[in-house]
Amino acid sequence: MKIRKEDIHKIEDYLWEIPKTFLPKMRVPARVLASEPLLNAIMEDRSLVQLVNVASLPGIQGASLVMPDVHEGYGFPIGGVAATLYPHGAISPGGIGYDINCGVRLLTSDQKIAEIKEKLDPLSKELYAQIPSGMGKGGQIKLSRQEMDKVLLMGAEWAVEKGYGVKEDLAFMESKGRLENADATLVSDMAKKRGADQLGTIGSGNHFVEVDYIEEIYDESIAEAYGLYKGQLVVLIHTGSRGLGHQVATDYIRQIMNAMPYYNIEVPDRELACVPFNSKEGQSYFKAMCAAANYAWCNREIISWEVRTAWTNIFGSTVQPLKLMYDVAHNIAKVETHLIDGVQTDVIVHRKGATRAFGPGFEELPASYKVAGQPVIIPGSMGTCSYVLSGTARSKELTFGSCCHGAGRRLSRTAAKKQVNAPVLKEKLKEKGIFVEAGSFKGIAEEAPIAYKDVNMVVETVSDSGIAKKIAKLRPVVVIKG
């Protein structure tokens, strides 16, 4: 299948559509949120082919969607959003991804960049010492089978109960850091074994811990509600459910592929394997996915504890403790209610490399954020910048309350390694005032700024389209990579 520019119709500024008449199997249109330059870049890989295939899922509603940071993934493109009819519409592990609840959180300090510049180098080394990073790297917490089951059921609450977290953090996490549908018995022994020593670790790939300062504020009132101000030091943490989540995906993709003939389901791409949400297999996967998501929230809370420890070791105990501004999930499926064709409809929203971006008044938000809307955290690359935005009512109309999750890759990891001299890049970043610590030069090369789209263009697209509002721009000074 080849998708040409003439197959894509412009609906409005920043919104494009491939009509459902494009292919007989499409049940809904396929839509792209992007500026025209970004759309042209998106057409360079198979993202739009995957988007069109997603539009064939049983029970899909409205449209299959991709955000401007989209790139090719497993089954679903990364940056994809799809809502299927609850309870009998499809659930597809490919629409969530292997790194279940890969997500990002932002911690705020009461310190300014001007006050601590001379301590950035020792801070980078202390953070790297405190936070285990790298492929397969284990942490200091070793979970027994019983404690693992508690983590899978309790999520971030487990970290708080064990002294590795802060109770006040829970109110500032998506779903308060716990999905109640989790069932630890549906997570395999292999998945539990892989996750037994990985709590409090960031892993490898695009995961990181990053110290930034706020370079610019765009909306003073919402920034104040979020506790943000110009010059402030903040910390971004980006990671997910590690080997445990990967194994959950692996286990259930295999089971669901085998179950599809029983439900007479055919899909144009085997990577879109799916079953009805209310089927035995669908419920088993969903409950295991919820358990893996809980593990990820617990992981990020424990990493926050490690960051807070490093912070105290460098700056002393007299500075104010780091506060959690918010924590969002990227790779997850949730049952939500959305207005579709004028009717309030319960749907299963798949977000793969996409962030929830609900507007003001959303009942789950902390009281101090209800007027502002949900924080949306968009990391860039380690040499550029990141953004904090706020969700809007418009996102519910256009994207099932969803937004982009980052800059989005433009080069594969292999291509990046061929083009980047990692030691030279590390020195160049240091000259720019960015201290990088990583387990290998390979990791630095794979995550080089050149490997990513222009985060400014991506953020301008979601901002100008109205699905999220720019609040603050962040500039990196310390980066910890796997």
**What would the pLDDT profile of 335-361 be if each residue is shown by its tens digit?**
999 999 999 999 999 999 999 999 999
**Dihedral pair phi/psi, residue 190, rounded to 5°:** -65, -45
Q: What was the pLDDT predicted at 413?
A: 81
**Dihedral pair phi/psi, residue 29, rounded to 5°:** -65, 165
Concerning whether 330 is annotated as a catalytic residue, the answer is no
**What would the pLDDT profile of 142-164 be if each residue is shown by its tens digit?**
999 999 999 999 999 999 999 99
Partners of residue 336 on adjacent β-strands: 347
C-alpha closest to that of 368 among 178, 156, 223, 218: 223
216 pLDDT more than 70: yes
Q: What was the pLDDT predicted at 51?
A: 98
**Dihedral pair phi/psi, residue 82, rounded to 5°:** -150, 140
3-state SS assignment for residue 36: helix
206 pLDDT more than 80: yes
CA 296 – CA 158 distance, rounded (Å): 12
Cis peptide before 37 (omega within 30 of 0): no
Q: What was the pLDDT predicted at 446?
A: 86
75 backbone φψ class: left, alpha, beta (φ>0; ψ -120 to 50): left
**What would the pLDDT profile of 352-391 be if each residue is shown by its tens digit?**
999 999 999 999 999 999 999 999 999 998 889 999 999 9
CA 420 – CA 361 distance, rounded (Å): 46
Angle at 210 between CA 207 and CA 213, to 5 degrees: 150
**What would the pLDDT profile of 235-272 be if each residue is shown by its tens digit?**
999 999 999 999 999 999 999 999 999 999 999 999 99
> CA distances (Å), 93 to each of 46, 52, 118, 195, 429, in order?
19, 17, 46, 19, 38
Residue range 133-146: mean pLDDT, rounded: 83
Partners of residue 234 on adjacent β-strands: 108, 212
pLDDT category of residue 136 using cuts at 50, 70 and 90: low
Do 481 and 436 meet the contact criterion of CB atoms below 8 Å apart?
yes
**Edge-to-edge strand ranges of the sheet holding 9-12:** 9-12, 15-18, 30-33, 60-71, 78-85, 343-352, 332-340
Helix, strand, coil fractions of the chain, as percent rounded to 5: 40, 25, 35
Residue in 71, 238, 246, 405 annotated catalytic: 405
Residue with tokens 């460098």: 314
Q: Which two tokens stand for residue 162?
A: 């064990």
